[in-house]
Amino acid sequence: MKTLTWIDTAVCLGNGQSRQGLDLAKMKDYATVIGCNAIYRDFTPDILVALDSRMAHEIYRKAYLKNMKVYLGYWTPVPVFVAKEMMKTMADKTDIVWNDSDEVVYHGADGVFTLTKGHNLGITYITGVSKTDEIIDIEPDVDGFAYATGSRSVHLACELSAKEVYIVGHDLYSDTDKVNNIYAGTDSYADKDALAARPNNPDETFNWILQHKNTFDKFPNVQFYKVNKGAEAKTDMPIKEWSNCPNLKYITQEEMTKALYN
């Protein structure tokens, strides 16, 4: 694992279908690669971010954590006896892995930050954790927004002093009326036939467009590149809400690879 002391260039990978076919491993030789959620199943980024409780617990239980820095939402260990006391009032549905640990991370059913609003209410997650792991707690709250994992990962790149940020696979829209996500139909994700999400949803938790704009405005000295496939698809269209962001450019994947590797 390369030393993150830190980056000039970050590639922030979303899980939209447009990033299929890209050589992600090669990117790590030229930039710090920040991935989201289930990307760990197929690829090890330099940094992994997950705010959703289901996804965070899956990552901790199943991912090899040593080869990347991992930021998980609301990841605050508590003593086991505290969790057991809290369990007395929890919902009937539970997903618990104790791991014979002295401490656990407890995400109660009434406060789960989920990928699909309301989909997961009623499930309590508890995972035993080690005091030697290096998980970094991260929260979605930024400047009055409840950021989603993808937009939060881009903001994190700026917090970590990136000077230029390539935004890849954060497709925002879908080229069909179905959900646009590589992992649709798998654990912790919507069904493949689920309707596409609205990136400008009035609910601030799901308004990805305004969350990104807040980041662009907040970091005026960072150069952002929205990387599109270049197929003149719906996912390639300019975002009108970003039209007054002078530090944002739209480029194709081909242009990105030439800029990164040359």
Percent of the chain scored above 70 by pLDDT? 89
225, HSE (Cβ side, Cα atoms, 13 Å): 23
pTM: 0.91
% helix / strand / coil in the chain, to the nearest 5?
Answer: 30, 25, 45
The rounded distance, in Å, linking the Cα atoms of 181 and 15 is 6
Q: What is the pLDDT of residues 28-41, one digit of tens each?
A: 999 999 999 999 99
How far lies 226's CA from each of 18, 19, 23, 239, 249, in Å?
Answer: 12, 12, 18, 10, 6
Instruction: Indicate the helix (H) or strand (E) that contains 161.
Output: none
Q: What is the pLDDT of residues 75-120, one digit of tens each?
A: 999 999 998 888 877 656 889 999 999 999 998 765 544 444 444 4
Range 134-148 average pLDDT? 92
Assign 186 a pLDDT band (cuts: 50, 70, 90): very high
Percent of the chain scored above 90 by pLDDT? 69
Residue 101: predicted pLDDT: 94
